[in-house]
Amino acid sequence: MSSRVHDQALDEALAELPLPPRRRRRWRPLRGFVEWLLVLGSVAAIVALVGVLTLMFAERELARRIYPNISVRGVTVGGLSSDQAEALLARTYSEFLAAPVELHYGTQTWTPTAEELGVRLQVDHALGEAFALGRGDERLTNLRRAAAVWEQGYDLPLRLEVDQQAMQRYLIALAAAVEQPTRDADLRLVGPEVLLQMEQWGTQVLVDETLADLTAALQRLERRSVAIRTRTLEPRVRDSDMAPVAEELRLLLSGPVVLQGDAGACAPSGCSWELTPTQIAAWLTLRPITTADGRSSFLVNLDPSGIRGALQPIGSALREEGTLPAVAWNNGNLQITQPGLPGRGLDAEEALVAVKVAIYGTERTLNLPMTAIPPPVTASNLAALGITTRVGVGQSSFARSEQYRITNIRAGARRMHGVLIPPGAEFSFNTQLGPVDAANGFVEGLAIVDNRTQQEWGGGLCQVSTTVFRAAFFGGLSISERHAHAFRIGWYEELGEPPGLDAAIFTPYNDVRFRNDTGGWLLMESYVDLSRQRLTVALYGAPTGRSVTYSHRVIERTPPPSQPVYVDDPTRPRGYFRRSDVAIAGLKVDVYRTVSNGDQIIAQDTFRTEFKPWPTIYVRGTGR
């Protein structure tokens, strides 16, 4: 306020006072002093008014701002409005909030945002405390606090708000890129190949421990590096658990096992068989076990039934059956006259053990063990053969035969006597006859070969083969092989037989064979009646119910040669001349056989014979 105004006011105040008596002049000094006091009071009032107005303006201005000299975690926010302070703090911590930590595991790193970690700065709370400072209910207290802050300053903390569930969710999601499951060592066989699955150690993220480290690192509000806490998981089954089993399997499958034998069908040169690793692998099984120290492993089992199956065909190839005994019919009371010899066969149990040893060992070639097997027929099972009746018989006459021929007939008949024929077996005359030599009682005799006479072994044996053929023929058995004579021979028809009921043999080519299709055993016996000069061959067995009828038909006749044949015999002296054969016509004839069982026809056969014409033969001596 100006002095002019002040003076005017003062004058107006003074004019309102009553005038003193005339003696007022004597108080003039006092009046000056009062005026001076009034002036001083006015000035003081004005100053006070200005101060009040200034304070009122300052308080109104500071009401929207934080008091000076206040900071939040070192960031000065005094004198700033809440919005300004919040913007300042946001700028200050923007990098921190964008990537508050760097998580790392090995060469992998992650830089999550504060929001991803569920982290938030409590800026509102910190600024609220800053704004409230010096604005309490008591003015005097507020003034003292404001003065202290002005003088010393005040730094407020900035706290974090952590949503641990959100942080845990982030770490669990991150764990998927770090964690590795354990993988147990394992073992399996694919054919002969041993497949070993190696162990794999696992990795597990320790979420709670990492969360604690992360929370602690964030409190500094500075970007920090935090290692993801993990632990290593040991597989339940280790490589060391599987290694011994794998080694055992590799030994078992290291190569083939070679089996050797030289008996039966393999005699005498021998046979060899291989049990391949693929076969052996098929016999192996792996059974899970727990060892004494609690470890997981496998027990390798070798199935013996697989080995037995592989040995069965080998045993069949090596089997040598014992020989059948010679048996006498003895009017139905069978009797063994010559025991059969034992055979040989594979010792199956010993072979099984030997094969196991070879598979588990290093020596993988072995000679198969053999054992003796009893003859197929002995006195203990002879009666069980069921031979109770005669089922077929054949006869022929050898009248007027020379002695060598009779000798050979008797020797051949002995070979056909007491012969057992198993069910289903094929009888071979030549096989049963054996070598035609002196050791078996045969002799040489004269025979005409290529228009000359010469010595031949076994002359007359066709008498025996023919009689055997007739026994099988009339027994209704299946004839496998039969050969007719080239020329018609009269003594095969002397008992009234039709032509064509003969059977020639010529070892080892032409044979007489028939199959025992009766379903039971057969016994063959032969009888030589020297007085009647007849040979009989009988077959005995179980009753078959078979009956045989036969007939024959001459298809064609061919006249004999008109010119005789002269044969020179150097063993005869000159002048010797004798007719040995009379001319015989040629003949083509069929013999028909029907085998029946009751009203049922079992078989119908036709046996064709073509006899060539035979000339008259004269023998002339050409010797000295």
Residue 472 has φ and ψ, to the nearest 5°, of -70, -40
Residue 224 lies in a domain: no
Structural domain that includes position 474: 386-623
Say if residue 505 is in the same domain as residue 356: no
- Give CA–CA dist 412/6, Å, rounded: 184
**Exposed/middle/buried for residue 606 (C-beta within 10 Å: 0-12, 13-18, 19+):** exposed
Cis peptide before 268 (omega within 30 of 0): yes
Helix (H, G, I), strand (E, B) or coil at 419: strand
Say if residue 319 is in the same domain as residue 426: no
pLDDT digits (tens, 9 = 90+) for 39-54: 777 776 676 565 545 4
pLDDT digits (tens, 9 = 90+) for 335-377: 999 999 999 999 999 999 999 999 999 999 999 999 999 999 9
Residue 480 lies in a domain: yes
Say if residue 283 is in the same domain as residue 414: no
CATH number for the domain harbouring residue 311: 3.10.20.800
Say if residue 128 is in the same domain as residue 253: no
Say if residue 125 is in the same domain as residue 14: no
Residues present in the chain in total: 624
Residue 380 lies in a domain: no
Total domain count for the chain? 4
Helix (H, G, I), strand (E, B) or coil at 506: strand
Residue 355 lies in a domain: yes
Residue 507 lies in a domain: yes
Say if residue 517 is in the same domain as residue 599: yes
Name the token pair of 324: 């059948």
- Residue 15 confidence (pLDDT): 47
571 torsion bin: left (phi>0), alpha (psi -120 to 50), beta (else): alpha
- Give CA–CA dist 461/410, Å, rounded: 9
- Residue 13 confidence (pLDDT): 42
- Give CA–CA dist 197/369, Å, rounded: 41
Say if residue 575 is in the same domain as residue 440: yes
Say if residue 43 is in the same domain as residue 123: no
Residue where one domain finishes, among candidates 62, 90, 113: 62
Q: Is 170 in contact with 117 (CB distance < 8 Å)?
A: yes
CA distances from 396 to 465, 471, 481, 514 (A): 10, 10, 19, 19
- Continuous segment of H or E residues that includes residue 569: strand 565-573
Residue 180 lies in a domain: yes
Residue where one domain finishes, among candidates 62, 81, 104: 62
Nearest to 332 by CA among 497, 63, 525: 525
Q: CA triplet 190, 194, 196: central angle to 5 degrees?
A: 110
Residue 176 has φ and ψ, to the nearest 5°, of -60, -30
- Give CA–CA dist 615/96, Å, rounded: 135
- Give CA–CA dist 250/359, Å, rounded: 11
State the SS3 of 113-151. CHHHHCEEECHHHHHHHHHHCCCCCCHHHHHHHHHHHHH
Nearest to 608 by CA among 593, 588, 587: 588
Say if residue 592 is in the same domain as residue 526: yes
Say if residue 359 is in the same domain as residue 399: no
Q: CB-side exposure of 288: number of CA atoms within 13 Å?
A: 8
Residue 230 lies in a domain: no
Q: Is 120 in contact with 93 (CB distance < 8 Å)?
A: no
- Residue 45 confidence (pLDDT): 67
Q: State which residues of the chain have pLDDT below 50.
A: 1-17, 19-25, 27, 52, 54-55, 58, 448, 451-453
Residue 99 lies in a domain: yes
Q: Is 226 in contact with 103 (CB distance < 8 Å)?
A: yes
Q: CB-side exposure of 31: number of CA atoms within 13 Å?
A: 13
**Exposed/middle/buried for residue 147 (C-beta within 10 Å: 0-12, 13-18, 19+):** exposed
Say if residue 585 is in the same domain as residue 466: yes
Say if residue 422 is in the same domain as residue 561: yes
